[in-house]
Amino acid sequence: MEDEISILDYLIVILKRKKIVIGIPLFAGVVAMLISFLMPPVYRAETRILTPHERRPDVAIHLLGNLDIPYMVGDISRMRATSGLYIAILRSRTVLDHIIDKFNLMEVYDTESREATRLKLLDSLSARSDKNYNDIVIISVEDTDPKRAAGMANAFVEELKTLAKGLAVTEAAQRRLFFEEQLKETKLALTKAEKAMKEFQEKAGALQIESQTKAVIDSIAKLRAQIAAKEVNIKALKTYTTPNSPDLQKTLETLRTLKTELKKLEAKTGKNPDPLMLTERMPEVETEYIRRLRDLKFNETLYELLAKQYKVAKLDEAKDAAVIQVIDEAVPSEKKIRPNRVRMVLFSTVATFFFSVVMAFFIEYVENASKSVHASKLELLKRYLSFRRK
């Protein structure tokens, strides 16, 4: 019975304050509707692209196998060009500035600085990986103009393609850049060795050395060049693989084997400090000639090995050149995404309704409390008056 009376009391309070309980939500709903009509409509354009992923090129492996050169693959997880990389490129200052200039966004957004325009553009841009397929990136742009939104979304893709072509995004491109630098250094060393040999021959004249000596020079120079090439491979592998990578460990083992073979070959030539000196009393001129020939052979062999690796890296990079593919091109949207007038009106009305109910009970509480305090004061006053009369 008490619960029933309590519920009735609640209803009485709500009906008593019906102007507040009904009036405030209605007013809030009307205001929300007016605001929603004043807000400009926003449209979203969306495009989907397929980002590249690394693969082991069978042609390159076969070519390297014939050349007896190890193919540097590393960990697939480290090689893979993830979609997160392309999302970061999309948000780069270079891409944003190109979009700003192309669509004159400083005037569109009515901003005074390029930095403020970038921030607004970033707020309108959304780039994320597909939930089920990490290689698919979803790019969406929001704008008050549906055609401009679609144009900007497609422009982001074109800017991403252009910028990605000039960056070493894939593992093959990174290998190509690495070998390109090593090849330049080796070419300079080879040019220097050729020049030194030419100057020496012009000065000392033509020299004839034994065929056995030439064979030893060629063998040792080739081994030393292979060792140097392996050390270059190891440096490259360490840039994108873990220390425990099977490919790195295999290359280190091959390097140890080559060094062992070189020591054996050098040991056969005797106890000379320079293993290429096959006789203890070789004329000084011939000794100098052999040293220069050794340097020349070494640099020639090393240059040849690095040139082959560089060529393979370029082939791999060319294979991965057509990297970004558009699955869905952005088109102007016919339906706005906001403001959602119905949702705005419902939310504001429901929220203010609960607020007005709480306010009604609070006002009722304050009013009752003031009445009870006023009544207690009157009772106390009556008590004092009756006491004086007595």
Helix (H) or strand (E) holding 325: strand 325-328
Which residues of the chain, if any, have pLDDT below 50? 1-5, 56-81, 270-273, 275-282
Domain segments of the chain as ranges: 2-39+341-385, 43-170, 171-319
Of 83, 139, 135, 50, residue with least CA distance to 325: 50
Q: What is the pTM of this model?
A: 0.56
Collapsing DSSP states into helix, strand and coil, what is residue 128?
strand
pLDDT number for residue 307? 85
Residue 58 has phi, psi (to 5 degrees) of -65, -35
Helix (H) or strand (E) holding 227: helix 211-238
Of 262, 260, 264, 259, residue with least CA distance to 230: 259
The b-or-e profile of 38-63 (16+ CB within 10 A means b, else e) is: eeeebbbbbbbbbbbbbeebeebeeb
The pairing of strands 136-143 and 125-129 is antiparallel
pLDDT number for residue 98? 95
Of 71, 74, 73, 76, residue with least CA distance to 60: 71
pLDDT number for residue 225? 76
Q: Which CATH superfamily is domain 43-170 in?
A: FepE-like (3.30.1890.10)
The pLDDT tens digits for 142-155 are: 999 999 999 999 99
Collapsing DSSP states into helix, strand and coil, what is residue 142?
strand
pLDDT number for residue 73? 42
